[in-house]
Amino acid sequence: MSKHHYTTVVFLVIAALCFTGLFSSAIALVLGFLFTLLFGKHFEKHTAKAISYLLKIAIVGLGFGMSLSETLKTGKEGLLITVFTIATTLVLGLLLSRVLHLQPKLGHLISSGTAICGGSAIAAISAVVKAKPKTISVAMGVVFTLNAIALFIFPSIGRYFSMSQHQFGLWAAVAIHDTSSVVGAALIYGQEALRVATTVKLARTLWIIPVALLTMLFFKAEGQKLKIPWFILLFIAAILCNSYLDMPTWLTTGITTLAERLLVLTLFLVGSTLAIKDLKETGIKPFVLAVSLWVFISVASLIYILN
């Protein structure tokens, strides 16, 4: 067996084990990182597409475990803190980028990723500002690193402050960048936390559209088209089906269980995209900006939610 075939087999075996529910979301992320550390990035192009599709499928699947009344209540509850944290994070990011003499587009991508939904926001905004691949990869690398850290420390912080399932779900949705890490951390904390986090985070994802429009004005990027996150509409459709159709319990339970396992598998793939070399190449300034914004949004939202 060649080295490439051996690496492929190891990758597929770990991925399959993650899908069985044997590992937690945190362990799956670490396994992905360790795989890349030992074998390198052999499947980068494939995993990038897989992460995008699997995450969207899993999110839609989670919708079959939610009710419309509960979803509307949760979304309304998180509206005020969503508007406040997005606006303040973007303004603070702009000011800090100038203080650090960071390239404007890079600073704005990191700020947008922190304020809204990590990699999805970076991808959408980068198309608007016509960012170079290197700029995009640096922003993604910084955000994914902090995502990995959040997945481990947030559940412990939540338990330290004796946060309820609802409180933690709201906090995770606001303070953790990427949707995959939000649902991963919430999944560790509990089922109610997962429902709240998913709902609030997806509502937050919609803010990509107004932020992208403002970005067009700020960077004078005319003629750019916005991509609407259509999977959110499917997520809403799944909630409506579960709320108004007489679907058997075994079916909705099976779909949500499958969705949760897909999320764990997705986190393994996310971990496999992280490499120490990429992190070293980013330099210190992007990290200073990202960590500063992350600490601000985490502490501010934690104080708000606890009080």
Q: What does the pLDDT look like over 239-272, one tens digit per residue?
A: 888 888 888 888 988 998 898 888 788 778 877 8
**Which amino acid is it at 107?**
G
Task: Report the C-alpha gap between 186 and 197 in whole angstroms.
Answer: 7
Task: Report the C-alpha gap between 84 and 88 in whole angstroms.
Answer: 6
Section 124-129 average pLDDT: 73
Question: Across the chain, where does the E strand assignment appear?
Answer: none
**Which amino acid is it at 129?**
V
Instruction: Give me Rg for the CA atoms of the chain.
Output: 19
Burial 37-46 (b: 16+ CB within 10 A, else e): eebeebbeee
Q: For residue 279, how many other CB atoms are within 10 A of its CB?
A: 15
Contact residues for 58 (Cβ-Cβ < 8 A; gap 6+): 183, 259, 260, 262, 263, 266
Q: How confident is the model at residue 297 (pLDDT cuts 50, 70, 90)?
A: very high
Whether 127 has a pLDDT exceeding 80, the answer reads: no
CA-wise closest residue to 261 among 168, 205, 184: 184
Q: How confident is the model at residue 220 (pLDDT cuts 50, 70, 90)?
A: low
Task: Report the C-alpha gap between 204 and 206 in whole angstroms.
Answer: 5
User: How confident is the prediction for the chain on average, in pLDDT?
Assistant: 82
Q: For residue 174, how many other CB atoms are within 10 A of its CB?
A: 26
DSSP state of 63: G
**Residue 118 tokens, joined:** 């990590």
CA of 7: how far to CAs of 20, 23, 50, 296, in Å?
20, 20, 18, 41
Higher pLDDT, 81 or 44: 81
Whether 15 has a pLDDT exceeding 80, the answer reads: yes
Is 122 within 8 Å of 113 (Cβ atoms)? yes
CA of 37: how far to CAs of 30, 42, 153, in Å?
10, 11, 22
Whether 227 has a pLDDT exceeding 70, the answer reads: no
Work out the widest C-alpha separation in the chain, in whole angstroms: 60
Whether 201 has a pLDDT exceeding 80, the answer reads: yes
Q: How confident is the model at residue 168 (pLDDT cuts 50, 70, 90)?
A: very high
At 36-59, the pLDDT tens digits run 888 877 777 778 778 778 877 887
Task: Report the C-alpha gap between 85 and 72 in whole angstroms.
Answer: 20
**Residue 198 tokens, joined:** 């998913």
